[in-house]
Each structure stands twice: as structure tokens, then as C-alpha cells.
Structure 1
């Protein structure tokens, strides 16, 4: 499997949340540290699409992500993404009808936090991506796999359903 991890930031890459300073994004993509801790033997090159909160993604940013997916030689693409707009990005990518398997994942707690869900979500997403045979767009969060057309983010509970 050729894997094309695409990093578009979000909570997973946040190193500090401070009401006075806003959100600080790590220079190194969280997925790099997660793959290191998980001792993943095949190390793909990480492509960073943008460094901003997912609520700040513009149409230009989404087009850049879509172009990177389209131009990738990989048939399977993992995107780390902010949870707030993950569903919208999944729909945007599905509307482009790529002949690839695209899987978005992220975290509700930053990768740098002790009680993060980032390691679990990325590990789960990698395992699922290896097994997916259907070329489409999916979201892997909270131990669940969701098709882009049948998922919502329950903001109150911080779960994808």
C-alpha cells in the first residue's frame, strides 16, 4: 500500500491553548511523533497542506488539499484534520470523486497532552486504511469508521456518530 499522509492541522497539532495567546501549532506534525511512538516501520513522507485551525480553512485551503490528493501517486491517503470541520472537508473531497481511498482522522485533545486520543485515532485510522478496499472518503474517529455521507460530529459529547 502506498500511503500519502497529508497534514492539515487542527487540535491534534496544537501544543498550547491559551485564551490570551490563542492556539499555537507545533512546527512538527503530530503524526510524525505518533508514528515514531508506534514504531511504524514504513515511514511515509508527510506532506503539510496548511498550518491553521480547521475553523479557519478557506476554500483556497480546501482546493489545495484536493489538489494534493489528486496529484498524489498513492491510492490511499490519510489526512489529519481538525475535528470541527472534518465532516465538511470529507464532503468537499468526496464531491471531487477521486479514484482513491481517503481517510480523515484527528483528535479532540492535542497530541502533546497526556490524555490525548491522537495516538489511538491515528493508529486505528492506519489499520483501517490498510483494510479498506472501496475507493471513497471516510472518517475514522473514536474507534468508528464512517462514510463521508453518513457521519456527524456531536459537539456536545465530542464524538463522531
Structure 2
């Protein structure tokens, strides 16, 4: 398999949240994605661009247009987008229309990457693998699966993503 460079676009979300003390709310801080990739000894070439630091519930149409524009204009054809899980599927729909011919994989976490018990490293690894092996289109790598980005939903009660 060739070493195709992967573009990582970070947008915020739970994967990059920190909890400072019992009286604080979560805050999105500097992305922990580079540290996760270093710890995992990722040797695939990648370039990271921080687009924003937002909870996905705060994303606007303009934010989604920015994500789509960055993906569309990038020289890379394999893209991982870290994103909050609450509106990940909404962004997937925008990307599916706006970024043809590229492989775009969205991923995030149900608990912050900085927590001892988190799905963040696993999901990020799944996203990197999917970006290298999936065909063009928009995909979501969550809950130990790679889903068609247009045929998935977050099941809050089960605390996982499920195909629809």
C-alpha cells in the first residue's frame, strides 16, 4: 500500500475537550490529535490544519462551508476530520455534496481524549485506516465501525453510532 498523505482537519468537539475542575464546564483546548498520533507511532505522512475549536452543537452553516472548502481545496485526496459527535452526520451530508472524488472520514469521541477511559485513540486509528482503504465518499469511523456517512446516526441511549 502506498504512503498517501492524509490531511487532518480539526474542528473541536469532545475529542479536544478538557475538564479543569469539578466546578468547570468542559472547554475545547489545543488539539490533542498530534499527541495521539505521536503516541500511536503513526508513520503515514499527514498534515494537520486546525479549522476551529467548537462544540459541534455550535457549528453553523458557515462553519460547515469552511470545512468543505478546506477539504475540497486541499491537495490531499484522503482526509480525516475530527468533529463533535452531536452533529457529525449533518457535516457528513454537506461534505458528501461539496467534496466529490475524495475520501473523507469523520471521527470524534464520546469522552474527551484526555480522559483515561476514552474511545478517542481507537476512533482516530480507525479513521486513519479508513482514509487509506475506503473509496471516495464520506465515511464516519466511530464505535469500532466505518459507516457510510449518509447512512448512520448517533444512538444516545446506546452511546454509539449505528447504521440506518
User: Same fold by TM (over 0.5)?
Assistant: yes
Q: Kindly tell me: are residues 154 and 17 of structure 1, through their superposed partners in 2, closer, same or farther at Cα, counting changes over 3 Å?
A: farther
What do the CA deviations read for 1:63-104 (whole angstroms, capped 9, x no partner)? Answer: 110110011000110001100000111011112242101000
Equivalent residues in 2 for 1:1-161, closer than 5 Å: 1-16=4-19, 21-27=24-30, 29-132=31-134, 134-161=135-162
Structure 2 distance, partners of 1:112, 1:41, is 22
Give SS of 1:45's match: strand
TM-score by length of 2: 0.91
Give SS of 1:152's match: strand
Q: Which runs of 5+ in 2 are unaligned?
A: none
- What is the deviation of 1:22? 2.8
- What is the deviation of 1:7? 0.4
- What is the deviation of 1:42? 3.5
Q: Kindly tell me: are residues 17 and 144 of structure 1, through their superposed partners in 2, closer, same or farther at Cα, counting changes over 3 Å?
A: farther
Kept after mapping to 1: 8 A contact 2:110/2:118: yes
What do the CA deviations read for 1:4-63 (whole angstroms, capped 9, x no partner)? Answer: 100011000001177854321122x12111101101123522101111111000111111
Q: Which runs of 5+ in 1 are unaligned?
A: none
Greater per-residue strand proportion = 2
Q: Kindly tell me: are residues 97 and 32 of structure 1, through their superposed partners in 2, closer, same or farther at Cα, counting changes over 3 Å?
A: closer
Question: RMSD of the alignment, in Å?
Answer: 1.5
